[in-house]
């Protein structure tokens, strides 16, 4: 199944990094977050990617053009670099379409710009490219197929605790409570679509606003609720939290059945 990844945003909320590199290229351990996410999909059998580029598109293109199979595995180099012996697991044979969808476009416009790459697919996956999860993707796909609907998104609870305030116009507080006590679900940025999604879109519209409203009106939108691990990387604090996890060897998005599946995780555990 093809996977559309939205990689063109400015990343304004994590400006400390995104002034130099696009948000998907911000490193988590030895590799950028975009590769962590692609590995998540690849481990579940989805190796055909469509990257919607925009801000600093050349940086992402250069990464994939220059990455060699031995980049992310152990190897022995000899003969002045002319001979490379692979010691670890070879990188997967991914197909990656690098499509420049413009700098100032929103998510809906980026998806529309790559529609020809997915219009003949029975269904396809999509992702904001700034969040990681140990979501059971196979189950999400299965439930979406059974539903017969046009679109599905991951619904998660915010990982941080907020204090919700109920006050009148004069500032008198009627209630002050933790968000954990309320039933809050947010869009987790993992999507599944059928090609019919394009029938619900109009030029210039943001994906989850007007198109999703039309889907709801036709009862064609499914929310897949999940309360397991999910983290987005919106701010520098979010990045530090994920970076700390990688340094400790805690990467649930790369673990299946409790076993770490990538070499960089093993090195992190040994360090």
Listed as own residue / partner, the contacts of 183-187 with beta carbons closer than 8 Å and 24 or more positions apart are 184/157, 184/158, 185/155, 185/156, 185/157, 185/223, 185/225, 186/155, 186/156, 186/157, 186/158, 187/153, 187/154, 187/155
- Range with the poorest average pLDDT among 7-11, 14-18, 21-25, 214-218: 14-18
User: Which DSSP symbol is given to 92?
Assistant: P
Q: What is the mean pLDDT of the chain?
A: 85
Pairwise pLDDT comparison (119 vs 84), residue with the higher score: 119
Which of 28, 36, 41 is CA-nearest to residue 248?
28
Band (pLDDT 50/70/90 cuts) for residue 182 is low
Band (pLDDT 50/70/90 cuts) for residue 78 is confident
- Domain total of the chain: 1
Band (pLDDT 50/70/90 cuts) for residue 259 is very low
Predicted pLDDT at 90: 61
Question: Range of 256's domain?
Answer: 2-270
- Answer whether residue 97 shows pLDDT above 80: yes
- Answer whether residue 94 shows pLDDT above 50: yes
- Range with the poorest average pLDDT among 97-101, 208-212, 233-237, 267-271: 267-271
What is the pTM for the complete model shown?
A: 0.83
Predicted pLDDT at 169: 82
Percent of the chain at pLDDT above 70? 83
Pairwise pLDDT comparison (239 vs 158), residue with the higher score: 239
Q: Is 106 exposed, middle or buried (0-12, 13-18, 19+ CB in 10 A)?
A: middle
Q: Is 178 exposed, middle or buried (0-12, 13-18, 19+ CB in 10 A)?
A: exposed
User: Which DSSP symbol is given to 258?
Assistant: T
The CATH number that applies at residue 148 is 3.90.550.10
Pairwise pLDDT comparison (63 vs 71), residue with the higher score: 63
Pairwise pLDDT comparison (119 vs 69), residue with the higher score: 119
């Amino acid at each position: 199944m093809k996977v559309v990844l939205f990689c063109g945003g400015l990343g304004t909320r994590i400006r400390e990094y995104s002034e130099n590199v696009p948000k998907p290229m911000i490193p988590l351990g030895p590799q950028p977050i975009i590769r962590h996410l692609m590995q998540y999909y690849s481990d579940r059998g989805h190796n055909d990617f469509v990257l919607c580029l925009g801000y600093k598109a050349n940086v992402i293109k250069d990464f994939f053009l220059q990455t060699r199979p031995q980049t992310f595995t152990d190897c022995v180099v000899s003969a002045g670099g002319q001979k490379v012996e692979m010691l670890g697991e070879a990188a997967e044979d991914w197909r990656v379409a690098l499509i420049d969808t413009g700098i100032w476009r929103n998510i809906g416009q980026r998806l529309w710009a790559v529609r020809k790459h997915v219009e003949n697919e029975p269904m396809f996956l999509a992702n904001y490219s700034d969040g990681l999860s140990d979501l059971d993707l196979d189950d999400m796909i299965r439930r979406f197929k059974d539903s017969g609907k046009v679109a599905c998104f991951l619904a998660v609870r915010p990982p941080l605790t907020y204090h919700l305030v109920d006050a009148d116009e004069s500032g008198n507080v009627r209630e002050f409570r933790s968000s954990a006590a309320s039933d809050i679900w947010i869009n987790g940025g993992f999507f599944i679509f059928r090609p019919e999604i394009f029938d619900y879109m109009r030029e210039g519209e943001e994906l989850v606003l007007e198109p999703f409203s039309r889907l709801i009106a036709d009862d064609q939108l499914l929310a897949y609720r999940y309360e397991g691990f999910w983290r987005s990387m919106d701010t520098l604090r979010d990045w530090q939290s994920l970076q700390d996890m990688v340094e400790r060897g805690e990467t649930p998005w790369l673990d299946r059945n409790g076993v770490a599946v990538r070499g960089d995780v093993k090195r992190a555990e040994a360090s």
